[in-house]
Protein backbone atom coordinates (compact mmCIF):
# COMPACT_ATOMS: atom_id res chain seq x y z
CA UNK A 1 0.00 0.00 0.00
CA UNK A 2 1.43 3.38 -0.94
CA UNK A 3 1.59 6.22 1.56
CA UNK A 4 -1.19 7.96 -0.32
CA UNK A 5 -3.42 4.88 -0.19
CA UNK A 6 -2.78 4.58 3.54
CA UNK A 7 -3.53 8.27 4.01
CA UNK A 8 -6.78 7.98 2.06
CA UNK A 9 -7.71 4.91 4.08
CA UNK A 10 -7.56 7.03 7.23
CA UNK A 11 -4.45 5.32 8.57
CA UNK A 12 -2.14 8.33 8.73
CA UNK A 13 -3.75 10.97 10.91
CA UNK A 14 -0.39 12.49 11.81
CA UNK A 15 0.49 13.12 8.18
CA UNK A 16 -0.70 15.64 5.67
CA UNK A 17 -1.04 15.13 1.94
CA UNK A 18 -0.01 17.72 -0.62
CA UNK A 19 -0.86 17.60 -4.29
CA UNK A 20 0.89 19.97 -6.68
CA UNK A 21 0.48 19.97 -10.42
CA UNK A 22 3.45 19.65 -12.68
CA UNK A 23 2.62 23.03 -14.24
CA UNK A 24 2.46 24.71 -10.88
CA UNK A 25 5.78 23.25 -9.78
CA UNK A 26 7.33 24.29 -13.09
CA UNK A 27 6.06 27.85 -12.71
CA UNK A 28 7.13 28.13 -9.09
CA UNK A 29 10.44 26.37 -9.37
CA UNK A 30 10.82 26.37 -5.60
CA UNK A 31 10.21 22.74 -4.86
CA UNK A 32 11.89 19.73 -6.32
CA UNK A 33 9.48 17.32 -7.92
CA UNK A 34 8.84 14.94 -5.12
CA UNK A 35 6.39 12.49 -3.77
CA UNK A 36 4.45 10.02 -5.85
CA UNK A 37 3.80 10.94 -9.45
CA UNK A 38 0.11 10.85 -10.28
CA UNK A 39 -1.68 12.03 -13.37
CA UNK A 40 -0.48 15.59 -14.09
CA UNK A 41 1.17 16.13 -10.74
CA UNK A 42 2.74 14.90 -7.55
CA UNK A 43 1.29 13.80 -4.25
CA UNK A 44 3.40 13.98 -1.14
CA UNK A 45 2.37 12.35 2.15
CA UNK A 46 4.56 13.53 5.01
CA UNK A 47 4.40 14.18 8.77
CA UNK A 48 2.32 17.26 9.58
CA UNK A 49 5.12 19.68 10.41
CA UNK A 50 7.20 18.74 7.38
CA UNK A 51 4.11 18.97 5.24
CA UNK A 52 3.26 22.44 6.42
CA UNK A 53 6.84 23.54 5.79
CA UNK A 54 6.82 22.02 2.31
CA UNK A 55 3.47 23.64 1.61
CA UNK A 56 4.78 27.06 2.63
CA UNK A 57 7.92 26.57 0.55
CA UNK A 58 5.97 25.41 -2.47
CA UNK A 59 3.12 27.88 -2.41
CA UNK A 60 4.32 30.85 -0.34
CA UNK A 61 1.25 30.42 1.87
CA UNK A 62 0.66 29.21 5.38
CA UNK A 63 -1.18 25.88 5.14
CA UNK A 64 -3.62 26.45 7.98
CA UNK A 65 -4.39 29.99 6.84
CA UNK A 66 -5.00 28.65 3.35
CA UNK A 67 -7.28 25.95 4.78
CA UNK A 68 -9.27 28.49 6.79
CA UNK A 69 -9.85 30.61 3.69
CA UNK A 70 -10.75 27.61 1.55
CA UNK A 71 -13.30 26.47 4.11
CA UNK A 72 -15.57 29.35 3.12
CA UNK A 73 -16.60 27.72 -0.13
CA UNK A 74 -17.28 24.12 -1.00
CA UNK A 75 -16.59 22.18 -4.15
CA UNK A 76 -15.91 18.61 -5.14
CA UNK A 77 -12.32 17.47 -4.63
CA UNK A 78 -11.20 14.18 -6.13
CA UNK A 79 -11.12 11.39 -3.55
CA UNK A 80 -7.59 10.62 -4.81
CA UNK A 81 -6.56 14.22 -4.18
CA UNK A 82 -5.54 14.86 -7.78
CA UNK A 83 -8.19 17.26 -8.99
CA UNK A 84 -11.37 19.12 -8.21
CA UNK A 85 -14.30 21.13 -9.49
CA UNK A 86 -13.95 24.86 -8.87
CA UNK A 87 -17.22 26.37 -7.59
CA UNK A 88 -16.44 29.52 -9.59
CA UNK A 89 -16.44 27.57 -12.85
CA UNK A 90 -20.25 27.43 -12.99
CA UNK A 91 -20.67 31.03 -11.96
CA UNK A 92 -18.43 32.52 -14.62
CA UNK A 93 -18.66 30.08 -17.53
CA UNK A 94 -22.35 30.06 -18.29
CA UNK A 95 -21.65 28.55 -21.69
CA UNK A 96 -18.88 26.38 -20.31
CA UNK A 97 -16.91 25.06 -23.23
CA UNK A 98 -14.21 22.48 -23.39
CA UNK A 99 -11.64 24.89 -22.01
CA UNK A 100 -13.48 25.44 -18.73
CA UNK A 101 -11.05 23.02 -17.16
CA UNK A 102 -8.09 25.00 -18.36
CA UNK A 103 -9.27 28.13 -16.58
CA UNK A 104 -10.25 26.28 -13.46
CA UNK A 105 -7.60 23.64 -13.09
CA UNK A 106 -6.51 22.76 -9.57
CA UNK A 107 -3.03 24.08 -8.78
CA UNK A 108 -2.56 22.43 -5.43
CA UNK A 109 -4.40 20.56 -2.69
CA UNK A 110 -3.69 20.30 1.01
CA UNK A 111 -5.35 17.54 3.04
CA UNK A 112 -5.33 15.99 6.47
CA UNK A 113 -7.45 13.38 8.22
CA UNK A 114 -9.04 12.98 11.61
CA UNK A 115 -9.85 9.82 13.51
CA UNK A 116 -13.45 8.83 14.09
CA UNK A 117 -14.88 10.77 17.03
CA UNK A 118 -18.28 9.72 18.32
CA UNK A 119 -18.44 12.63 20.73
CA UNK A 120 -18.28 15.22 17.98
CA UNK A 121 -21.12 13.47 16.19
CA UNK A 122 -22.29 14.03 12.62
CA UNK A 123 -19.74 13.01 10.02
CA UNK A 124 -17.11 12.37 12.68
CA UNK A 125 -19.19 9.68 14.35
CA UNK A 126 -19.40 7.78 11.06
CA UNK A 127 -15.68 7.21 10.61
CA UNK A 128 -12.34 8.85 9.93
CA UNK A 129 -12.76 12.11 8.02
CA UNK A 130 -10.49 13.44 5.28
CA UNK A 131 -10.40 17.24 4.98
CA UNK A 132 -9.20 18.57 1.64
CA UNK A 133 -8.55 22.12 0.49
CA UNK A 134 -7.93 23.04 -3.12
CA UNK A 135 -6.56 26.11 -4.85
CA UNK A 136 -7.74 26.86 -8.39
CA UNK A 137 -5.82 28.50 -11.21
CA UNK A 138 -8.48 31.28 -11.18
CA UNK A 139 -7.44 32.20 -7.63
CA UNK A 140 -10.41 30.67 -5.83
CA UNK A 141 -10.00 28.17 -3.01
CA UNK A 142 -12.54 25.61 -1.86
CA UNK A 143 -12.88 22.68 0.46
CA UNK A 144 -14.41 19.25 0.73
CA UNK A 145 -14.48 16.60 3.44
CA UNK A 146 -15.67 13.03 3.45
CA UNK A 147 -15.85 9.92 5.58
CA UNK A 148 -13.31 7.22 4.77
CA UNK A 149 -15.22 4.28 3.34
CA UNK A 150 -18.19 6.52 2.41
CA UNK A 151 -16.45 8.53 -0.29
CA UNK A 152 -19.50 8.54 -2.55
CA UNK A 153 -22.03 9.20 0.21
CA UNK A 154 -20.36 12.06 2.05
CA UNK A 155 -18.80 15.32 0.98
CA UNK A 156 -19.43 17.18 -2.26
CA UNK A 157 -20.06 14.77 -5.13
CA UNK A 158 -18.95 15.43 -8.74
CA UNK A 159 -21.24 17.99 -10.35
CA UNK A 160 -22.74 19.03 -7.01
CA UNK A 161 -22.13 22.11 -4.90
CA UNK A 162 -23.39 20.93 -1.51
CA UNK A 163 -22.19 18.01 0.64
CA UNK A 164 -24.22 14.85 0.04
CA UNK A 165 -24.84 14.36 3.75
CA UNK A 166 -26.39 17.84 4.09
CA UNK A 167 -25.53 20.37 6.77
CA UNK A 168 -24.71 18.62 10.01
**Nearest to residue 80, comparing CAs of 161, 26, 158?**
158
CB-CB contact of 166 with 123 (8 Å)? no
**Nearest to residue 143, comparing CAs of 153, 128, 130?**
130
CB of 70 to Zn ion, least distance (A): 12
Interacting residues toward Zn ion by CB under 5 A: 86, 88, 104, 136, 138, 140
Rounded Cα gap, residues 134 and 123, in angstroms:
20
Tell me whether residue 25 or residue 136 sits nearer to Zn ion (CB atom): 136
CB of 86 to Zn ion, least distance (A): 3
Tell me whether residue 20 or residue 140 sits nearer to Zn ion (CB atom): 140
**Total Cβ atoms within 10 A of residue 69:** 16
Tell me whether residue 8 or residue 140 sits nearer to Zn ion (CB atom): 140
CB of 35 to Zn ion, least distance (A): 24
Amino acid sequence: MSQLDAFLAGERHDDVALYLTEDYLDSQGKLPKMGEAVESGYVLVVPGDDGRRAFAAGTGMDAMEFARGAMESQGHISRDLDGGECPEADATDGDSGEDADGDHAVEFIFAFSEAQNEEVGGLYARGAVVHAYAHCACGASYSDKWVVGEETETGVQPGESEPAEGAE
